[in-house]
Structures are given as structure tokens and as C-alpha cells.
Structure 1
Amino acid sequence: MEYLKINLEYKSSKDNIVIALGNFDGMHLGHRKLIDELNSVKLKRNLKTAVLLFENHSKNVVLKKEFPRIMSFSDKIDTLTELSIDYIFSIEFDDKFRNLTSKEFLEFLTNNLRVSHIVVGEDYTFGVDRGKVNVISNFTDNNGISLSVVPSLKYDGYKISSRNIIKDIENGNLKPVNFLLGRYYSLKGNVESGFRRGHKLGYPTANLKLSFNYVIPKDGVYFTKTKYRNKYYFSFTSVGNNPTFNNKNVSIETHIFDFDKEIYDEEIEFFFIERFRDNEKFDSVEKLKEQLSLDREKCNELIKTYSD
């Protein structure tokens, strides 16, 4: 894989490229379908595969607000690298790019990036004039390049989209999320010092300081896996403001099973497998300790299921 950071003045020395277009937030099954088509065209026509990524999400620029996302830019790069894409072009979605017409954007692809074939989903829209697939089709017909339009996929009656997956994450509905992502949804960051209440309760926790504006799952307690230095450990994770202690801020705290290392300031990743209860306000610390013991028992049962 070759990573190329570009701008609108960039002139590629590459040619014979098939390129996939989209925001690719989550790299869900719909996105994987685009990649499948990309690879199919590559084999049929002996082309090189490429993906054009925005370094910042287009919605953030258009609405001038930072929205939480499923994946960071670096997460997307890592995933596309694993998928053996030949070239990743990255470009900042700024006001200059935003104000390109659909024709100007297509001319940029053909003249600057020397694209021979374009792959998009059937609902793809682009350019300041909100061009659709028919605009691309007319352009490709008149300019000697070709086009693949990939139909939208559906799950449980609704279209697979990053927007719908985000709604399910925010609702704590992890079963469809993990199926549609083809992986357990995860959050990354560094371990920061907390109140150290977990140590006193017999369940020390790693407190996550997010490295990116990820979508946060609904408040509650989750069965999770934790990745630390490329090793995986089962765990359970609390998302919320710890109502027993009346915390004002939302925290993400994980108790890692069979783990006794001090890992402050180190990188860690939590994988959300299953949500098994709401947060509760307990009348006493002893009641909370009893519940944590029950949580551990619940997780022991789940470990048997997810260890196969």
C-alpha cells in the first residue's frame, strides 16, 4: 500500500487506477461491498486499486460542527492497509474542495489522479451541486472511463449506513453494530488516572481518555475485550457518570480480568461485545460491591460463549 497526501493541485504519476469514493466511516459491510467491486475490477482489467479519503469528515465542514464518528482517519488507514489497497489518496475537505462542482470533481479524478474506473454506492452524492450517480454516468460515457454502481445493502429492513450504525451504538444495540461492522465496535485512547475507587472495591479499572471523538455507546455496563500491547483480555466496562458516586462527567472504565499491571498513559483499546445492564445508583458501597460480583459472574458465563 502506498499512502499519498494530496491537494487539488496534485498531479499523479500513477495511471490505470480504479478508485472507490465515499466517507468510509466504520468500514461496514456496505463499504466492504465497494472494496469487493474494486478488487473485481482490478482483476478483470489489470488496474491498481485506490481509495480517496477525506482527512476530516465532510459533514463537519458543511455544518461547522464536530460530530462523533465510528472511526478516526488513522483507523481507516489501518483497515485499508489490511485490505491490501494499492493507493490511498488523502485530501483535506476544506471550503475550496467543498465548493467544487460535480463536474470539476470528476475532472480532478480523471485529469489529476488519472482514474480509469470509478466505484460508488448507488446513493453517492458529491459536489456543491449535489451530483448523483447519473451525473457520474454521463461524465464517464463522454470521457472514455467506466463506472461501477454498487447497490445499497439492507439489514433487518433498513439500509446499511454509518448513520444507522451510529444510532445503534448510541442506543447500546450492539448485536447489529458488530455484525454490520464485521468486528466488535471499539474505542481507543490512553489510560488516565481516575478516582481509584475500583481498587478499593476490589475491581481496579483502567480509565480511558479517548484519542478521537468516537461515538460513545449508551450508558451502561458492557462485556468487553481489552487490547493492550497486542494482547487481548476479557473485561467489563462501565460507561456513564457512576450514579452511586454522583459524578458529573461521563467516564469509560474497564476492569480487566487476570491483569495486574500499572498502565497509566499507555495506549489501550476497548471492544464492546454485549451490553448486559443499565447503570444503577446503589444505596451503599456494599450493595455496589455485590453487584460487581454479579457482573463478574455474568461475564464468566459470557466468556464461555465468546471463547469458542
Structure 2
Amino acid sequence: MLLIDNFSQASVTIESFITIGAFDGVHRGHQHLIRNLVREAHGKGFLAGLVTFHPHPSAVLNPSNPTRYLTTPGEKVSLLEKMDLDLVALLPFDEKMAQMSAREFMRLLCKHLNLKELWVGADFALGYRREGNVGVLKELGREMGFMVRVVEPVYFKGEVISSTRIRQLIALGEVREAAQLLGRYYSLAGEVVKGEGRGRNLGFPTANLEVRPERVTPADGVYVTYARIGQDRYWGVTNIGIRPTFDGGKRLVETYILDFESDLYGYDLVVEFVERLRPEIKFPSVEELIRQIQRDVETAREILKREEAMGGIEGMLEPIYTPSTKRFEELPHTADKAIKVYGSTLEDIFVNAAFGMFSLMADPQEIKVEVSREVEVSSFDPESLLVKWLNELLYLQEMEGELYRDFEIMYLDGKRLKARVWGGKGHPTKAKVKAATYHNLEIKDVGKGYEATVVFDT
């Protein structure tokens, strides 16, 4: 992946698909967009790129109330490196950038990144005073020779996944739900610094983390955490707050690392927040505080043991989705069942085909989500991959006695698919689908999206 901090550093000869945004947190909504962009670009022989900024535009446009970060620039780049992008532009956002017109910015993008297609959300805008909304960008695209694709937001439990929502959850201490939206535990990283030694005197020596002031910090309280030191990961209990039992003081992030003895002063530490145990409390005595810490440690052990038995956050993710006016329709067929599937992306086709197939078998509203499973298949082209995907789900349904209703594509390149599915125990109450077939199967690019017809043996 090519990383640049100035457009002039790039001279791209192959046309590119580009998305633009702050991408703070690189959450599951961002990941969904980037996966689709990469697959579409690479599938058509183009480059896949992303343009982002540091500091956050609010630091320049609203300096009295700047946005706190979910990720540092380095953390953001590290996450983006895992997503198969060809190019990331991390541009400095300063007064000059704030004053730049949408036309000038897009001219630079076309000149240096050879822009073919721009992917943005419906409410996206760039340029001086946000003049470059989607309508303006489409006009500039007709003039400069690029297309604008408007992508749908991604939802979790009825609400749009956004960096703002995640910041709010973390500030309230709701780190468990924040992890669902991020697709990973929220973490803070920094150097371990010397404290007052109170934890050691209590029998629970803590590593005090020096956190950058611009980072989002969870609400004061006690948390179940993981502590990462280099490649090693340990169980931990973290207190955030002012230690009211000792009459307060500077707000600190202090982690007691379970079953760990070494001195960590000067080391880099990453603290991953799993669950909030309780608020910070002023205890009537030091002895009562020690008893509560002992209870916190035992509770943390139980939670982390259960967490790891479930596969960590990756094994506990709940479904996300994009709204669609029409996912599929059942078609009349002489003998077997058939559906026509719609989607704005190829990923949507695979998700909606699976949803349509199980809708033939049972009412989706009656399928309880009790279990999640990962599915991975490969084949030689998208059509055969679609058939293998659906038949693998039917095999799971038969072997496990389960029905599925929610589906998330984790990786898709036209020849290999990795997905997570959610469902629960149950048997078909409508049609008994035996297999997906190749009969008249074709995935069509219809310009504004995709369509496919799938015939099932019943």
C-alpha cells in the first residue's frame, strides 16, 4: 500500500476508485464501504484508494470544541493497511485546505490519483463551507470525467454506525456496544509512567498509562480489559478516574495486570476495553477498597474466561445491514422455487440471495438469533461461488438443524468468500429447499447495481 501525505507524491497511471472521509475508528461501516470499493475496483482492473485527513477538520473549523479521536493517525493507517487498498492519502488539514474549493480539490484528485469513480455517502460534502455536496460533485464529475457513486449507510440495531455514535458510547462507558460497532475492542495506547505507588501498597500494582489528551477516554469506572505488551496479551482490570477514596487528584488510566510481576515503566502498553464493571466509588476505608478490588479481579477472570470461550469479540459480533427497498422477489416456476435478487453491490447479491433462500424456508421474523458461524467457500467465478455459498448454508442448515436470517460478507473477490451468518435452531416451516442450481444463473451488472436469478431444487 502506498502511503502519501501530499497529492504531488503520487502520479497514478492506472485509473482509481477513491473514497474520502475522516474514517476515525475505521469502524464496521467504514470496513463495509472499503471492502466493496476494493472488490469493485480490483474486479475491473482499477486501483482502490482512500483519502483522509489529520487533524480532524473540526480542529481547524471549530478549534474551541475539537473532535476527540477514536484512533491516532498511526492506528488508522495500520487498520487501513489490512484492507487491501492500493493507496492511502493522509493529508494535513490546515487553513489552506479549509479554504480550498471543491473544484480545486477534485482537480487535484483527478490529476494526481487518476480518478475514475468517487464513492461517498449521501450527506457527504467537501470544499470551502462544504460547498461540494453530492449534486455539485456529480456536476464536477461530468466536467472532469469521473463518476460519483453514493453508498448506503450501514446499520446496527436500527441505528447508523458512525464515529460520532461510537464516541458517545465510549464516553458513557458502553465499551461492549462500542466494540460491536468497531468490530474490535476499543483501545488506548501509550507509555507506562510512574505513579504514586498506591496500587502496589494495596497489593495490586498498576501500570499507569499516559494517554494523549485528544483521545476519547471511557467514562470513569472499573473495566475488564486486555493488556498488550508487544506481542503478548494479558488479562487486566483497569480503573479510570481520580481515586476518590484517596481524596481525588489527576485523572488516570491505571491497569492491574493479572498474574504479571515485571516492571513496565517506559514500556508501550495497549489497553483493550472489554466491559465496564462498575462506576468509580469512594469507599469508607482502604480495607473495603481492597475487598472490592479482589471481587473485581475475580469477576474479570470469569468474564474473560467466558469471552475467550466465545472466540473474543470476533466470535461475538452481531449482524450489521444496509437498508434496501427490494432485496429479492419470488418468481413463478413450473416445478421448483426461484428468486430474483437485487443489490447495489456484488456483496449485496450474496447476502440477499441467502436471505431470500431462507425466506422461502421460513418467516425470517420467526428465526431467533442464538448462534453465529463463519462460512468460507471458493470457486472459479462469481456465479459458481454464489451456488457454493448457498449450498454450504443448506448443508449447515441440515447438519446443525439451524435456520439463518442475518449475513455479513467479510471478504469477497469473485472467487473466494468469507462470511459470518447468524441464526438459531429450527426447521423449515415453508418450502424444503434441497439445493441451489446453476439453471439459467447469471449475475448481471445493470449499471446502478446487480441482479441475479437463482433456481432452487425443492
- TM-score normalised by the chain length of structure 1: 0.95
Deviations 1:263-294 (Å, cap 9, x if unpaired)?
10110000000001111111111111110111
In the TM superposition, what is the alpha-carbon distance from 1:241 to its structure 2 partner? Answer: 0.4
- Answering whether residue 154 of structure 2 is matched by residue 153 of structure 1, we say yes
For residue 295 of structure 1, report the CA deviation from its aligned partner: 0.6
Q: Find the structure with the greater CA-based Rg.
A: 2
The separation in 2 between residues aligned to 1:12 and 1:88, in whole angstroms, is 10
Provide the rounded CA distance (Å) in 2 between the counterparts of 1:157 and 1:119.
Answer: 23
CA displacement 1:79-104 (0-9 Å, x = unmatched) = 11121211111211111111112222
Higher relative contact order (CA 8 A, sep 6+): 1
CA offset at residue 212 of structure 1?
Answer: 6.0
Inter-partner Cα distance in structure 2 for 1:129 and 1:209: 36
CA offsets, 1:143-173, max 9 Å, x none?
Answer: 3222221111222332211111101100011
In structure 2, the residue matched to 1:291 is 292
Aligned to 1:188: 189
What is aligned with 1:229?
Answer: 230
Per the TM alignment, residue 132 of structure 1 is displaced from its structure 2 partner at its CA by 1.4
Matched residue SS, 1:108: helix
How far the C-alpha of 1:211 sits from its partner, in A, is 4.3
Say whether 1:30 aligns with 2:29.
yes
Q: 2: CA distance between counterparts of 1:38 and 1:4? A: 19
User: 1:6 & 1:80 partners in 2: Cα distance?
Assistant: 18
1:105 alignment counterpart: 105
Conserved? CA contact 1:57–1:93, under 8 Å: yes
1:105-184 correspondence to structure 2 within 5 Å = 105-130=105-130, 131-184=132-185
Match of 1:252 in 2: 253
2:12 paired residue number: 14
Structure 1 contact 189–212 (Cα < 8 Å) conserved: no
- Aligned counterpart, 2:94: 94
SS in 2 for 1:307: helix
- The 3-state SS of whatever aligns with 1:234 is strand
> After the TM superposition, which residues 55-70 of structure 1 pair with which residues of structure 2 at under 5 Å, given as runs?
55-65=54-64, 66-70=66-70
Give the superposition deviation at 1:11.
6.4
Deviation (angstroms), 1:18 = 1.4
Aligned residue for 1:67, secondary structure, equals coil
Cα separation, 2, equivalents of 1:134 and 1:31: 22
1:202 aligns with 2:203: yes
The one-letter code matched in structure 1 to 2:166 is I
Contact 2:20 2:120 in 1 (8 A): yes
Sequence identity percentage = 32
The alpha-carbon deviation at position 189 of structure 1 amounts to 0.3
Instruction: Tell me the distance in 2 between the aligned counterparts of 1:252 and 1:151.
Output: 38
Contact 2:17 2:46 in 1 (8 A): yes
Point out the more displaced range, 52-61 or 130-139.
130-139
C-alpha deviation, 1:114, in angstroms: 1.9
Root mean square deviation of aligned Cα: 1.5
Structure 1: give runs of 5+ residues left out of the alignment: none
Q: Aligned partner of 2:35: which letter? A: D
CA distance in 1, matches of 2:110, 2:278: 52
153-162 or 21-30, larger mean C-alpha shift:
153-162
In 1, Cα distance between the equivalents of 2:139 and 2:2? Answer: 31
The alignment status of 1:76 with 2:76, answered yes or no, reads yes
Which stretches in structure 2 are left out of the alignment for 5+ residues? Answer: 310-458
Paired letter, 2:270: E
Distance 2:150 2:27 in 1: 17
- Do the aligned residues in 1 keep the contact of 2:101 with 2:127 (CA within 8 Å)? yes
Amino acid at match of 2:69: R
Give TM-score, length-normalised by structure 2.
Answer: 0.65
Letter matched to residue 52 of structure 2: L
Equivalent residue letter for 2:256: H
